[in-house]
């Protein structure tokens, strides 16, 4: 889409009808195949996930300016600016400055803050993960996590929740979750306190918070990610759970974040990401991926419950790529031994492609065995869908380019621009 020609490229010329708030939920790396596996495992082949119940649906095209498959940082940049960029981009076009499709030299989140709207950045990964950070930070390399973390803290976002304490504290400083790793001597936790943020470090502290009396919130829930994105066998050897037990789930973070920012009389924009669905899948950890998907779907349920009380908010959700090309295949025989995991029964038999699982019961009360196959340790261009509910969700078209996600969000927040 050409900057200045602010109409949807693939969704026709339909424009959002009303202005309001936007919740952008990004379950990273999830294609239709991932949700199929989650459905079988969590609610059974005939059941419905929260994701299944969303009324709006469109096929997502997420190619980049220089390749057919998306990247996390390049894809997030497209969502934040509405412009096709090079795959290796973090709030820029490669290493060049970027003008958004609206003609502004800022992201949609920065534009929202300039308009007086509250912004929430909620992330199960570390604070510099691009799915949320790129909405307020720009850098020549996504590897510069310490620089990006500083931009996030200084961004003005009203709510920030993530892991990544290591990039907020200097070397030699012991934090709540481990030692700091910043080499510039800056203590961004102290900076956040000076900026007026209430800081919490655990699920217990977050759940004890009163959102009605909290104006700015920083939640730092892990040294790095709030999950352990290793192969399942390595987590078992190391004695590590898939998700850190003291960290809140993405659903719990979402509920508190929305309670805080929805108090803003000028409106809000929330960017929420479940990163485990991508990182864990890219390590071909089937059991962990199913747990991440269950958590992502619980967050969808929390958002839908929030929408029930209001008609002024759009939920739009999409991934930018298909993590590891996850596929479900039939297993003729059940496994020998079983342990419980996530939303179903995990059978710990390693087969040709991976672990074997048993579905939740189908409509007839029967369960079935299935396995997970992968294409490899990388993101691919799979079957990604745009889903939505609430205000203007009927503007989600059968075919939605990644730039159209930005367009719909921008038009809902600010109105149509011709």
1 lies in some domain: no
pLDDT tens digits along 367-396: 999 989 888 888 888 899 999 999 999 999
Q: Mean pLDDT across the stretch 277-303?
A: 96
pLDDT over threshold 70, residue 275: yes
CATH number, residue 267: 3.40.720.10
What is the reported pTM? Answer: 0.92
The confidence score (pLDDT) of residue 379 equals 87
The confidence score (pLDDT) of residue 333 equals 66
State how many domains the chain has.
1
User: What is residue 259's three-state secondary structure?
Assistant: helix
3 lies in some domain: no
110 lies in some domain: yes
| Range of the structural domain that residue 88 is part of | 21-414
pLDDT over threshold 60, residue 7: no
d(CA 404, CA 104): 17
52 lies in some domain: yes
pLDDT tens digits along 31-44: 999 999 999 999 99
Mutual orientation of helices 72-81 and 402-414 as an angle, nearest 10°?
40
Residues in the chain: 418
16 lies in some domain: no
pLDDT over threshold 90, residue 351: no
13 lies in some domain: no
Dig out the tokens for 20 from the structure.
Answer: 């309001």
pLDDT tens digits along 163-181: 999 999 999 999 999 999 9
Residue 313's Cβ-side half-sphere holds a number of Cα atoms within 13 Å equal to 20
Strands 322-323 and 355-358: unpaired
pLDDT over threshold 90, residue 132: yes
d(CA 193, CA 180): 17
d(CA 110, CA 80): 9
pLDDT tens digits along 216-263: 999 999 999 999 999 988 999 999 999 999 999 999 999 999 999 999
9 lies in some domain: no
pLDDT over threshold 90, residue 52: yes
Distances (CA, A) of 324 to 280, 379, 380: 10, 5, 7
306 lies in some domain: yes
pLDDT tens digits along 243-253: 999 999 999 99
Average pLDDT, the chain: 91
Q: Mean pLDDT across the stretch 200-228?
A: 98
First CA to last CA across the chain, in angstroms?
A: 13
Confidence class for position 271, pLDDT limits 50, 70, 90: very high
Q: Mean pLDDT across the stretch 297-306?
A: 98
The confidence score (pLDDT) of residue 352 equals 36
d(CA 195, CA 191): 6
Dig out the tokens for 62 from the structure.
Answer: 């997420």
CB of 319 closer than 8 Å to CB of 28: yes
d(CA 63, CA 74): 10
């Amino acid at each position: 889409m050409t900057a200045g020609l602010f109409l949807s490229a693939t969704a026709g010329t339909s424009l959002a009808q009303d202005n309001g708030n936007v919740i952008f939920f990004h379950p990273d790396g999830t294609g239709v195949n991932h949700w199929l596996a989650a459905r079988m495992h969590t609610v059974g082949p005939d059941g419905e996930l929260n994701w299944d119940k969303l009324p709006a649906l469109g096929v997502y095209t997420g190619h980049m300016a220089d390749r057919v498959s998306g990247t996390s940082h390049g894809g997030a940049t497209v969502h934040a600016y509405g412009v096709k960029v090079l795959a290796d981009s973090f709030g820029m076009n490669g290493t060049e400055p970027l003008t958004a499709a609206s003609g502004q030299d800022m992201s949609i989140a920065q534009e929202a803050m300039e308009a007086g709207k509250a912004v929430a950045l909620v992330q199960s990964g570390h604070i510099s993960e691009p799915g949320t950070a790129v909405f307020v930070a720009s850098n020549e390399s996504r590897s510069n996590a310490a620089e990006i973390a500083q931009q996030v803290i200084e961004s003005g976002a009203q709510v920030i929740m993530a892991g990544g304490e290591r990039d907020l504290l200097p070397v030699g400083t012991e934090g709540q979750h481990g030692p700091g790793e910043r080499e510039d001597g800056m203590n961004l936790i102290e900076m956040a306190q000076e900026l007026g943020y209430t800081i919490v470090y655990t699920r217990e502290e977050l759940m004890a918070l009163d959102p009605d009396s909290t104006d700015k919130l920083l939640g730092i829930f892990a040294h790095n990610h709030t999950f352990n994105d290793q192969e399942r066998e390595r987590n078992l050897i190391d004695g590590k759970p898939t998700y850190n037990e003291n960290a809140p789930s993405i659903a719990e973070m979402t509920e508190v974040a929305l309670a805080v920012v929805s108090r803003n009389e000028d409106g809000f924009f929330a960017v929420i990401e479940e990163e485990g669905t991508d990182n864990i899948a890219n390590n071909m950890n089937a059991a962990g991926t199913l747990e991440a998907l269950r958590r992502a779907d619980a967050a969808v349920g929390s958002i839908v419950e929030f929408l029930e009380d209001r008609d002024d908010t759009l939920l739009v959700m999409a991934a930018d790529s298909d993590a590891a090309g996850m596929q479900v295949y039939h297993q003729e025989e059940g496994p020998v031994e079983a342990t419980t995991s996530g939303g179903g029964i995990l059978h710990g038999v390693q087969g040709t492609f991976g672990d074997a699982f048993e579905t939740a019961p189908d409509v007839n009360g029967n369960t079935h065995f299935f396995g997970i196959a992968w294409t490899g340790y990388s993101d691919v261009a799979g079957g990604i869908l745009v889903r939505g509910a609430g205000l203007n969700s009927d503007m989600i078209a059968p075919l939605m380019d990644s730039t159209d996600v930005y367009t719909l969000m921008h038009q809902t927040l600010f109105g149509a621009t011709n």
